[in-house]
Structure 1
Amino acid sequence: MRENRANSLKLKIGFLLAKNFTLSAFSLFVDTLRLGSDQRDNSGRIACDWLVMSADKHFVTSSSGVQVPPNAPLKPPTDFDYIVVVGGRINEKVEVLDSQAVAYVVNASHAGVPIIGLCTGSFILAEAGLLEGKRACVSWLHHGDFRERFPEISVTSHELFVEDGRVITCAGGSSAADLAAFLLNRHVGEFAEKNALEILQIARRRDAKEMQPRNPLGRGTIDDARVEKALLTMEQHVEDLLDIEDIAAQSGLSRRQLERSFRTALGVSPASAYLTVRLDEAMRLVKTTKIPLAEVAILAGFQNSSHFIKKFRQRFDMPPATVRKNLKLSGLLS
């Protein structure tokens, strides 16, 4: 602990909110701190304290439209144990965090203050150069965007959060509570973590390396974490296809073991599941973009357009051109 703190204060965090930040990630994180800082639900800032900082006094609007006012200017970084950058909607054309705040985060890092990228806060840290040579964690939803924008940075969406040196990146969503509870346990104690999670009605804190909840096939709960990891790997490699042997190896299995696990958990082979994942991504592109269908085929891992159309028709009972045509006729795609 730094010497300028009150004796009882064990954890102090400074928040920086990006434009269109994710309200759920921020609120889960800060409420976990609040409940762990005092007994029961008294909201006393006894063990923890936090500030929402900004270079100006303007309200920050979340992606849901709810506005949060900053309650402090940019304080000296060494006043805090962590600086948390809360990201939200990704927009390359908009400055999501003003240059003064970005410079503040960089200076905080250089001063030795640990930095946390919450939700797409990881993108902001990467843009600022704070993830060079480090391993980052992002949501499965943003994995492709991150890889495309920062190909030189090692990234995972198989885990809830990653701590690499003095930088922590977190997938966001409910994992924000897991990370906050982890920090409570580290700095305040197990009793603080327990109090927070019980009041939030969270049964337990998930470990950082636990899988992000995701089932690309949409077939209910998958009880085999290795199958779940393989499916996520498939989803992350739709255009740049992997061999089933490589997917098995990344899941810690042989090909034969992966085949058996998929049959048991899903009733299909890994190759069949991979094809379904690719075709579902193709359908998403057909419905939500104006990308030419020949390019959609390539983005879904098909080098032959006729083969793509055949498989698409088998899965969805109509060719991709008909899907596009129907959407245009209904006014859902201009």
Structure 2
Amino acid sequence: MHTVAVLALDHVVAADMATPIEVFGRARLADGRRPYRIMVCAATPQVAGGAFTIIAPYGLEALREADTIVVPGCSPAVPPAREVLDALCAAAAAGTRIASICAGAFTLAAAGLLDGLSATTHWIAAGRLAQMFPRVEVRPDVLYVDNGRILTSAGAAAGLDLCLHIIRRDFGSAVAADSARLSVMPLEREGGQAQFIVHAQPPVPQGSLLEPVLAWIEDNLAREVTLADMALRSGMSERTFSRRFREQTGTTPLQWLLRARVRRAQFLLETTNHGVERVAAQAGFGSAAAFRERFKRVVGVTPQSYRSSFRANAS
């Protein structure tokens, strides 16, 4: 099993600490096995959590057993104990993957683990992180940053995105998608960071008047679909349809369609050996060139690079 150590520090944010425990703890492989073992570690047996007190079953020495360490957010005004920073540095030197949620980035920065790297944290604390640690390239407009062995995420909700991203890196998209459904995650997240999580269906507001139209679009991604086609299926004028669509999905019909096509392409790249031209046609892109350009803009990498990363993991 892959061991995940969640480091509880004084004044820890409850949601930040619960996120990795729940997301990794619920993950299941295709055969039903749990791929992760969770340990809650702390420098002292009891940790102050504001309205509650945490009794940690494991001390800092347990970090040496971990394959991944997750550092939840805590008050940036309270500097971490030297022994905590030393333990994190030792783990990083040993090759352990270390991730932070929200203000947990301050702890990683204090340990020097973010020097020379890009990182993110809650937008409200991004300026303070940049001021306190000038050697860190702070990116306040992204949900998470993956530097390989060191990862950081924005606010608490972005911690969910980061945990799902890690699951996908470890065990592939199918396990990550199941974990997302168990976490009742939205099926699409807006943000500057390219999101790799693929879900079986695009976001469909349950009970919405648009639900049948969105399901029809999903079934017809490979053909040309226009705004007029969508409006006709909904029984609305194009103007009314566009307004209702933005109200209920938070985006335009065209953007929703393009992202649904990118998701379809991601699935095909992961699960088939089809060439880029065929994937482009199956996902509804007019040409391979248009597909490559749109895919890289949304996902952040080329289709070939994406396939190389996630086809291997899924296998």
TM bucket, shorter chain: 0.5 to 0.7
The residue that corresponds to 1:72 in the other structure is 58
Q: Distance in 1 between matches of 2:103 and 2:151?
A: 12
Q: Distance in 2 between matches of 1:50 and 1:150?
A: 30
Q: Which amino acid aligns with 1:46?
A: R
Match for residue 47 of structure 1 among 35, 41, 59 = 35
The residue that corresponds to 1:22 in the other structure is 13
Matches within 5 A, 1:251-330: none
Taking a change above 3 Å as real, the CA distance of residues 45 and 25 of structure 1, as seen in their structure-2 partners, is farther
Q: Which amino acid aligns with 1:179?
A: L
Q: Which amino acid aligns with 1:34?
A: G
The residue that corresponds to 2:151 in the other structure is 168
Cα deviation, residue 181, structure 1: 1.0
Q: Which amino acid aligns with 1:172?
A: G
Matches within 5 A, 1:145-224: 145-204=128-187, 206=189, 209-210=192-193, 223=251
Cα deviation, residue 108, structure 1: 0.5
Unaligned runs of 5+ in 1: 1-8, 213-219, 225-334
Cα deviation, residue 175, structure 1: 0.9
Contact (CA 8 Å) 1:81, 1:113: kept in 2 or not? yes
The residue that corresponds to 1:57 in the other structure is 45
Cα deviation, residue 223, structure 1: 4.8
Deviation track 1:219-270 (CA, whole Å, cap 9, x = no partner) reads: x99759xxxxxxxxxxxxxxxxxxxxxxxxxxxxxxxxxxxxxxxxxxxxxx
Q: Which amino acid aligns with 2:70?
A: V
Q: Which amino acid aligns with 2:45?
A: K
Deviation track 1:48-107 (CA, whole Å, cap 9, x = no partner) reads: 11101123312x2224x233221112235452221111122221xx33x32222210011
What fraction of aligned residue pairs are identical, expressed as a percent? 23
Q: Distance in 2 between matches of 1:38 and 1:75?
A: 29
The residue that corresponds to 1:85 in the other structure is 71
Matches within 5 A, 1:236-255: none
Taking a change above 3 Å as real, the CA distance of residues 153 and 173 of structure 1, as seen in their structure-2 partners, is same
RMSD: 2.9
If the length of structure 2 is used for normalisation, what is the TM-score?
0.57
Quick check: 1:133 aligned with 2:120? Answer: no
The residue that corresponds to 2:27 in the other structure is 36
If the length of structure 1 is used for normalisation, what is the TM-score?
0.54
Contact (CA 8 Å) 2:119, 2:138: kept in 1 or not? yes
Contact (CA 8 Å) 2:102, 2:121: kept in 1 or not? yes
Taking a change above 3 Å as real, the CA distance of residues 70 and 204 of structure 1, as seen in their structure-2 partners, is same
Cα deviation, residue 117, structure 1: 1.9
Q: Distance in 2 between matches of 1:178 and 1:168?
A: 12
Q: Which amino acid aligns with 2:8?
A: L
Look up the SS of the partner of 1:37 in the other structure.
coil
Q: Distance in 1 between matches of 2:74 and 2:251?
A: 30
Q: Distance in 2 between matches of 1:182 and 1:148?
A: 28
Contact (CA 8 Å) 2:6, 2:21: kept in 1 or not? no
Taking a change above 3 Å as real, the CA distance of residues 99 and 31 of structure 1, as seen in their structure-2 partners, is same
Contact (CA 8 Å) 1:114, 1:166: kept in 2 or not? yes
Look up the SS of the partner of 1:75 in the other structure.
helix
Contact (CA 8 Å) 1:35, 1:195: kept in 2 or not? no
Cα deviation, residue 205, structure 1: 6.2
Most deviating of 100-109 and 16-25: 16-25
Cα deviation, residue 47, structure 1: 1.1
Look up the SS of the partner of 2:4 in the other structure.
strand
Q: Distance in 1 between matches of 2:188 and 2:29?
A: 18
The residue that corresponds to 1:289 in the other structure is none
Q: How many residues are aligned here?
A: 200
Look up the SS of the partner of 1:174 in the other structure.
helix
Look up the SS of the partner of 1:192 in the other structure.
helix
The residue that corresponds to 2:126 in the other structure is 143
Taking a change above 3 Å as real, the CA distance of residues 69 and 209 of structure 1, as seen in their structure-2 partners, is farther
The residue that corresponds to 2:257 in the other structure is none
Q: Which amino acid aligns with 1:123?
A: F
